[in-house]
Structure 1
Amino acid sequence: MTIADGTPPVVGRGTRLRQVVEALGRAAPSVVLLNVPAGMGQTTFLGALATAATDEGWRVVHADADGEFTVARDTRPDAFAKRLRDALDVAEPSAITGGTRDFAVDASTQRPVQDPVLEALREHRDRWLLLLDGFRPSPTFAAWFRDTFVGDLLAHGRAAVVVADTDSALEPFATLPHERVTLGALDRDEVRDLFRALAPTTEPPLTAEEIEQYTEASVWRPDVVGALYRLLTLPMRPGQRSLVPTV
């Protein structure tokens, strides 16, 4: 369970993680709305989901050189489209700018040329997953994203989108078929198991009472789990008598 850089393992989210992965694995195209109250580990959970989805064979678009994919009030469809196109290595012309229903025409046949992103999804076996770490769009972007982007891309069945934010921010998706998952309290048993695993490694070893105290202090505070993990796994300094904090 120890991680070299001191980063705590993702704990307390096993059930929710499995729920999202199972939703993504269903035959129907998926939109998963991840309702996350402030401070409940949204970004950490999405990182764990990216790893789990990759292990399940998804091609995950989570972050690029500009950071995690998010949508803010000033996010424009064309800029969002370019980031996504670059992340997917889809050639010009833009797959999304102007709406994915605007197809070019092949001059030799006068037949519509398929949108590059949709063509890529149809031709390649890879399933791809877009993780949005926050969705606070302008009304114009919200309408475009819901009606054009999600509608066209998910119609091809090889894509899924997970949108993570507070419940009110997810309202633009209320009319779409979707799965809604709420990140509430951490799973108490998972948190307790973490501290039980660490108990013999501390000096002095954690008592059963301390394990319960740490568990109670952590189930609604993912940041506390991380802080305690880092503290309890620090190497002992010469002459140091205890790493056990007071809760």
Structure 2
Amino acid sequence: MKILLIEDQIELSDNITEFLASVGIFCDACTNCFDAQDKLLINSYDSIVLDIMLPDGTGLELIDVIKKNQSKCNILIISAKGSLGDKIEGLELGADDYLTKPFHLAELHARLKALYRRNQLGGSDVLTFNEIQVNPENLQALINQTLLDLTKKEFDLLLFFLTNKDRVLGRQAIVQHLWGDYTDDLANFDFVYQHIKNLRKKICQAGGKDYIETVYGIGYKFNTSPEK
């Protein structure tokens, strides 16, 4: 799961980011609307954790931007403003859930998992496609009930493909999803090919079909109807 946290309280932002990282969730963070819009245009996320009160505007104004650029993304509003009016406005604008500060980080994690299950996994803890089963909770992937020995990046890559079936994913989009802002330190994206090559090999060795296709000059696609 990849999260964008939009929160201007640095200490709270750091605490959330560190906690989510400890439970295996990648979290980008920013402190204002301007930086948030840049990230939303460049990266793809599974969920947005959005504060209402930001230094250069209101988080509610970002909901429309999120919906236009991240149509499959969940939105969880967090705010010290606990009035019913704020909750209703956020939900009517398209937010999926609302959490009032202060909150326990474990509850935030539980809410994010519930939203992910509902919107990305069809309400199940396990994502299934034909012979493939993926469990994001325990980071396990199976082919015909055979457990795949995947690295963390290979697992994240497989999950990214399965939640974007039949969509062409550019190499930069894949890198941004898996590495976030750290891509600025990378000389090139050639390592994406190696990760995908290893993933395809492991799936096929376990008896699975080769669903991942190269779209030359662009990137890759998980084809749900492969010819072979």
Q: TM-score, normalised by structure 1?
A: 0.26
Larger radius of gyration: 1
* Bigger strand fraction: 2
Q: TM-score, normalised by structure 2?
A: 0.28
